[in-house]
Amino acid sequence: METLNKKYNIAPTKDGFFGNYGGQFLPEGLKQEFEHIYEEFLKYKDDAEFNEELDYLLKNYAGRPSPVYFARNLSAKYGSEIYLKREDLNHTGAHKINHSLGEALLAKKMGKKKLIAETGAGQHGVAIATAAALMGLECDIYMGEVDIEKEKPNVFRMKILGANIVSVKSGTRTLKEAVDEAFIAYSKEYETAMYAIGSAVGPHPFPMIIEHFQSVIGREARAQFMEQTGRLPDYVAACVGGGSNAIGLFSGFLEDTEVQIFGVEPLGKGTNLGQNAASMTYGKDGIIHGFKCRVLQDEQGNAANAYSIASGLDYPGVGPKHCYLNDIGRVKYDVISDEEAVNAFYDLSETEGIIPALESSHAVAYGIKLAKENKGKKILVNLSGRGDKDIQYVLENYPKF
């Protein structure tokens, strides 16, 4: 990753900081293990055999490269050229398989026997359970009791894939407690288990590991876009939960200063605390889950409950590199509401025959907004996942028929 030392696409410092953000706020007992993960990652990321194996799986198992598609009908409707990077076509239906395969292969090479992860709606859990099945690793997925009840299809998927679902019964019995309990379990089992983070967040070195495994999106997209249009896009946009699909796409364009880059956060139902999950836009500097970033917090400084219609986006923190890119002004972070996302969900389905995930619908909505406001531009939008999982919810809550 030789480009990482350039100004816009920096690697973290040795302590894991991107400017003011990131780092490693860990219990003493885990520091050495994280140092070990860092060293092993640095070794394997440039290891020919490792990369050959990963490339084989990305191509023949996950279905990469995912195409860049010129959305001609949507473009005609709004007066700009809108292109979609089709991560929705990956095995398991989203970009999450990219870093899950990478993390699982790294764990396997490190001699680990088990992956430990938490999940909210179950998307990350399914991707990790898939990679664990493939690599012959055990898999413990921590999930709040409330979420288990709500997300039955994904719970069944994980079980069929051989994962062990650990029901978390403390506190609100949702994602926050699942993260806490997964981490407690990991701190007891780290000698034989690897923690598999689900986004470009967490203590160093996880943000850089996830970015590395997701950067395939940006590399492919830049080359595909150049091949199809003979130039770079004017605008690039992706939705930001923790920030893995976004940093993956952005990493391909950070050095191209003529390309304007937009990270799209969920405005949910409004600007008040608890109504949205726009951590960059409405958060303050703080520490959450072992790293420093912009955090949605109450007046006492406690992390607030985040909300978005897209469960993959409702995290009260955001990846440290995004916070840095916001600080230096290289990426502009903006918001899209639940309602705008649902409109884009229907719009893309009707015009192009592509049903996007509600998460990705935020990026599509922003692409449409850019198209309307600036005619004749070339816009590349990351379609991070497909919307099958959201159909029932949308029809029940935003009925159109």
Ligand X SMILES: *Cc1c(COP(=O)(O)O)cnc(C)c1O
Instruction: For residue 75, give both structure tokens.
Output: 């473009």
108 is an interface residue for ligand X by CB under 6 A: no
Question: Cα-atom radius of gyration of the chain, to the nearest Å?
Answer: 19
- As given in the structure block, the two tokens for residue 337 are 């509401």
Longest pairwise C-alpha distance within the chain: 57
Q: Is 384 in the site for ligand X (CB under 6 A)?
A: yes
State yes or no: residue 283 binds ligand X (CB under 6 A).
no
Contact 382, 363 (CB under 8 A): yes
Q: Establish if 215 lies at the interface with ligand X (CB under 6 A).
A: no
Task: Rank residues 181 and 314 by Cβ distance to ligand X and give the closer one.
Answer: 314
Size of the site for ligand X (CB under 6 A): 19
Q: Does 384 participate in catalysis according to the annotation?
A: yes
Which of the 8 DSSP states describes residue 400? Answer: -
Give the residue with the Cβ less far from ligand X, 9 or 244. 244
Asked if 385 is part of the footprint of ligand X (rule: CB under 6 A), the reply reads yes
Write out the two tokens for 207. 């943000």
Is residue 118 among the annotated active site residues? yes
Choose one: 55-63, 106-114, 243-251, 292-300; the region binding ligand X (CB under 6 A). 243-251
| Span near ligand X by CB under 6 A; candidates 24-32, 170-178, 220-228, 353-361 | 353-361
What is the number of the residue whose Cβ is closest to ligand X? 385
Q: Which helix (H) or strand (E) holds 238?
A: strand 235-239
Q: Is 243 in the site for ligand X (CB under 6 A)?
A: yes
Distance in Å, CB of 313 to ligand X, minimum? 6
Residue closer to ligand X by CB (options 98, 297) is 98
* Residue with Cβ nearer ligand X (312 or 320): 312
- C-alpha 237/C-alpha 331 separation (Å) is 10
Would you count residue 312 as binding ligand X (CB under 6 A)? yes
- Work out how close the CB of 247 gets to ligand X at its nearest, in angstroms, rounded to a whole number: 8
Instruction: Decide: is 154 part of the binding site for ligand X (CB under 6 A).
Output: no
As given in the structure block, the two tokens for residue 82 are 């809108």
- Sign of the alpha-carbon torsion through 280, 283, 286, 289: negative
Whole-number Cα distances in Å, 1 to 53, 232, 251: 18, 21, 11
Q: How far apart are CA 61 and CA 81, in angstroms?
A: 31
Asked if 367 interacts with ligand X (CB under 6 A), we say no
Interior CA angle at 262 toward 259 and 263, to 5°?
Answer: 145
Nearest residue (CB) to ligand X, 123 versus 174:
123
Q: 380: closest CA among 256, 276, 272, 293?
A: 256
List the catalytic residue out of 87, 103, 118, 352.
118
| 184 Cβ neighbours under 8 A, 6+ residues apart | none
Among 135, 239, 293, 348, binds ligand X (CB under 6 A): 239
Q: Which residues bind ligand X (CB under 6 A)?
A: 94, 96, 123, 199, 239-246, 312-313, 357, 359-360, 384-385
Cite the active site residues.
Answer: 96, 118, 384
